[in-house]
Amino acid sequence: MNTDVDLSERHLLMRDVVMRAFTLVGHLRAHFDRLAAEMDLTPMQARALHNLGEPRSMSDLADMLHCDASNVTGIADRLEERGLIERRPDPGDRRRKRLVVTPAGVDLHRAMRTRIVEGHPFNALGDDELAALRDLLDAALAATAPAETR
Amino acid sequence: MNTDVDLSERHLLMRDVVMRAFTLVGHLRAHFDRLAAEMDLTPMQARALHNLGEPRSMSDLADMLHCDASNVTGIADRLEERGLIERRPDPGDRRRKRLVVTPAGVDLHRAMRTRIVEGHPFNALGDDELAALRDLLDAALAATAPAETR
DNA sequence: TATTGTTATACTCTATAACTATA
DNA sequence: TATAGTTATAGAGTATAACAATA
């Protein structure tokens, strides 16, 4: 009584790939979020730190994080309270604030980046396999659209 | 002033693959959710329908959807109100309810499955590429853990 | 008149706890 | 004593709207 019986071979193959892609990304996200939690960061705080390799305005960061600018206020608040980032005035536009990572923030980010390799789902793949995977994902993405960072 | 400069080649490669994986799954999810919305289904309602190819109990469905059983009540409520599924008594255990897709539900599910191919991010890939992608994802998942359906 | 950042607020999604009826 | 399903409720995450300062 399974309704899958009338799916074409290609449809079944696509479904297999989609399922695995979702599962794998679920693992990647869980891995990242677990590590963030160990550093006492919410996932969004960790992603913010991750995206402040160079200073950005609040609204630019909102774009990077694919969220509304109003959310960034709270994220920046808590990172600043912990001394991981600073709000600095923008010389060219007094409406803007430049979010700059402090030395303590750089240290924490570096520590997180170092530890992220442990238990990473992609450890199982060799360099050649990773490169092949990247190229296949590129081919699929080429037909679709822009980028997204994490 | 970019902090990425001290990342190893392999680390950079992994980061590239992770970014692409997140982006691609974002597209897949958006594609699925958009189609669900066109059918006037929330994403979870659509996933429930997707996972009722054969009848299941509420708690079994909760396991498939990776959510708490208390959420399934509302999902089933709305699908039942629309006549897409039915709650039937379980002959062997009077605590249990069997969720069964109605003919109308089967029709809607089939329509959704047919339409999902249009604009699907994986249309850009040929059968060989899809198979290669599946195998690479399998290799990455083999080292990690169990499955997840959508 | 438009934009940056902030605040207050509301909405969605999900989990927890308490309850019932069965087992 | 434990489990299936329901209900009420609370929390996290996110978006919308209104506002002050500045462009």
Buried b (16+ CB within 10 A) or exposed e, B131-147: ebbbebbeebbeebeee
Residue A143's pLDDT is 84
Residues 36-95 of B with CB under 7 A from strand C: 42-44, 66-68, 70-71, 74, 93-95
Residue A6's pLDDT is 63
pLDDT band at residue A1, thresholds of 50, 70 and 90? Answer: very low
Mean pLDDT in runs of 10 for chain B (150 residues)? 66 94 96 96 98 98 98 98 98 98 98 93 95 97 63
Q: Which of A1, A137, A138 sits opposite B54 (nearest CB)?
A: A1
Residue A2's pLDDT is 47
Q: pLDDT digit string (tens) for A53-63? A: 999 999 999 99
Residue B144's pLDDT is 82
Greater confidence (B98 vs A117) lies with: B98
Buried b (16+ CB within 10 A) or exposed e, B13-50: bbbbbbbbbbbbbbbbeebbbebbeeeebeebbbbbbb
- Give CA angle at B84 (B81, B86), nearest 5°: 75
Question: Sheet holding B56-57: strands in order across?
Answer: B56-57, B97-101, B85-89
pTM value?
0.91
Average pLDDT over residues A74-81: 98
Beta bridge partners of A99: A56, A87
**Average model confidence (pLDDT) across chain A:** 92
The verdict on a CB contact (< 8 Å) between B127 and A54 is no
Q: Residue B60 to residues A128, B112, B138: CA-CA distances in angstroms?
A: 40, 23, 25
pLDDT band at residue A7, thresholds of 50, 70 and 90? Answer: confident
The verdict on a CB contact (< 8 Å) between A121 and B133 is no
Given a cut of 90, whether residue A5 has pLDDT beyond it is: no
Given a cut of 60, whether residue A150 has pLDDT beyond it is: no
Proportion of chain A above pLDDT 70, given as a percent: 92
Distance, CA of A6 to C1' of D12, in Å: 41
Could you tell me whether strands A97-101 and A56-57 are parallel, antiparallel, or unpaired per DSSP bridges?
antiparallel
Residue B6's pLDDT is 63
Given a cut of 50, whether residue A10 has pLDDT beyond it is: yes
Residue A45 is classified by DSSP as H
pLDDT band at residue A123, thresholds of 50, 70 and 90? Answer: very high
